[in-house]
Amino acid sequence: MSPLPEIPSAVRRVAMISVHTSPLEQPGTGDAGGMNVYVLETARRLGERGVEVEIFTRRTSAASAEVVPVAPGVLVRHIDAGPYEGLSKDDLPGQLCAFAAGVMRLVAISPEGHYDLVHSHYWLSGQVGWLAADRWNVPLVHTMHTMAKVKNRSLAQGDRPEPAGREIGEEQVVRAASLLVANTEIEARELVELYDADPARVRVVPPGVDLVTFAPGDQQAAREALELPQDAELVLFVGRIQALKGPDVLLRAAAEMVRRDPERRRRLIVAVIGGPSGSGLEKPRALQALARELGIADIVQFVPPVPRQELAQWFRASDAVAVPSRSESFGLVALEAQACGATVVAADVGGLPRAVGSAGVLVQGHDPAVWAERLLAVLDSTPDERKALVDRAVEHAQRYGWERTTDELLAVYERACRDARTDVADDAGSGRLLELPLAEAVIP
């Protein structure tokens, strides 16, 4: 995974594919999460660099305009593929043909060479991106975000595994992509070991954080703005509510905390910010039921997903942010929390060690008793210890601005385009007949 050399700019226009979730959706519920943030933030910054970005996503509402400008040089294009509502992510493989046809039809009026590159996000988009890149004769860059084989190794009890069809689809995309973007070195190794990816075609580009929105601030002022008690001990969970993200681990840990110290109940608040997603949609009130069963319903607040500015206030108001995921490709929430000066207590899985670094607390396993112990250690830390944690968190997050991510992503794009030009030149020089895609061979 060697660093990419600097090369002359060759990228003017990029087609991003995000089939199952729109970057315009509010993260934290349904299928909207860190990937939405990633797509939107990188597209915006690419636009600032003079690279035009068109994001293709499935229309989920009749009210959605066909084209939505979201920033200078950045458009979101909605594609009709199946009914607007009522389709889960599991239903979408059956709509990939319709989605791809919509993209091809829309782009058919554009001149040849309109796009320099396709960047697909998640395996469903990779299937469409594979076809689009082949049809337009441009490189395909793909980011997995999550992988079925990795998720299936870390299932929560009672959670259903990802289907074999997804694993096969991911393997196909890995083979088809010109370059693969991994969030962390761990993810890069998983691509090689689990999917037989060519190491020479894998590049590590860590996600970033909006350091303007997510910045340190006064805890008391944040609590006043959120109408929270100043003397509260506030522990947050932020994310989609599903077994994979482990919110149940935090609730069980909170029950253990008040069992050990009943007086703590008076001031402890556990705030769960997010909405049901994935398997959590089958029992959308299961977490509330668990809080009642554990006898802590009085200290748990369930908050629907909030805008990013308000989310930053929650992070500033917190004493600890728990990220007890069972699998996590990176863990953007951890980085956003640290950028606000929050102390993150996270599971030692996937990309979280990279996201958290040495600035937070990593927990082995998901034993609620162990999590209670680690959280209590943070809550009971001295003012000097707390300040040191805050300073380390902010310093760590400052290394991960979206500008850095965009720099490295652009280098990947440039490399993919340069390699494509080299391949064409080699084929032409060798005298080999260049094979056209089937569609170009039969359509005048």
Taking residue 381's Cβ as centre, other Cβ atoms within 10 Å add up to 16
> Annotation-wise, does 119 bind a ligand?
no
> Annotation-wise, does 302 bind a ligand?
no
* C-alpha to C-alpha distance for 304 and 276, rounded to whole angstroms: 10
> Annotation-wise, does 9 bind a ligand?
no
> Annotation-wise, does 328 bind a ligand?
yes
> Annotation-wise, does 89 bind a ligand?
yes
Angle in degrees, 0-180, between the axes of helices 164-176 and 123-136, rounded to the nearest 10: 40
> Annotation-wise, does 35 bind a ligand?
yes
Residue of 368, 361, 290, 261 whose CA lies nearest to 321: 361
Q: What is the pLDDT of residue 34?
A: 83
> Annotation-wise, does 318 bind a ligand?
yes
Q: Which residue has the tokens 């979101």?
A: 76
> Annotation-wise, does 33 bind a ligand?
yes
In the structure encoding, which two tokens stand for residue 281, read together?
């949609």
> Annotation-wise, does 36 bind a ligand?
yes
Q: What is the pLDDT of residue 304?
A: 93
CB 278 within 8 A of CB 247: no
Domains defined along the chain, listed by start: 13-207+402-442 (3.40.50.2000), 219-400 (3.40.50.2000)
> Annotation-wise, does 27 bind a ligand?
yes
Give the pLDDT of the chain (444 residues) as one tens digit per residue. 444 444 346 799 999 999 988 888 877 666 667 899 999 999 999 999 999 999 999 999 899 999 999 999 999 999 999 999 888 888 999 999 999 999 999 999 888 899 999 999 999 999 999 999 999 999 999 999 999 999 898 887 777 899 999 999 999 999 999 999 999 999 999 999 999 999 999 999 999 999 999 999 999 999 999 999 999 999 999 998 988 899 999 999 999 999 999 999 999 999 999 988 666 566 778 999 999 999 999 999 999 999 999 999 999 999 999 999 998 988 899 999 999 999 999 999 999 999 998 999 999 999 999 999 999 999 999 999 999 999 999 999 999 999 999 999 999 999 999 998 876 555 555 544 333 333 332 222
> Annotation-wise, does 137 bind a ligand?
no
In the structure encoding, which two tokens stand for residue 317, read together?
């108001």
> Annotation-wise, does 32 bind a ligand?
yes
Q: What is the pLDDT of residue 183?
A: 94
Angle in degrees, 0-180, between the axes of helices 247-260 and 286-294, rounded to the nearest 10: 10
Per-residue pLDDT tens over the stretch 170-204: 999 999 999 999 999 999 999 999 999 999 999 99
* pTM for the whole structure: 0.87
> Annotation-wise, does 34 bind a ligand?
yes
> Annotation-wise, does 1 bind a ligand?
no
> Annotation-wise, does 315 bind a ligand?
yes
Q: What is the pLDDT of residue 429?
A: 53
> Annotation-wise, does 283 bind a ligand?
no
Positive or negative, the Cα torsion across 135, 93, 142, 188? Answer: negative
Residue of 233, 293, 311, 239 whose CA lies nearest to 265: 233
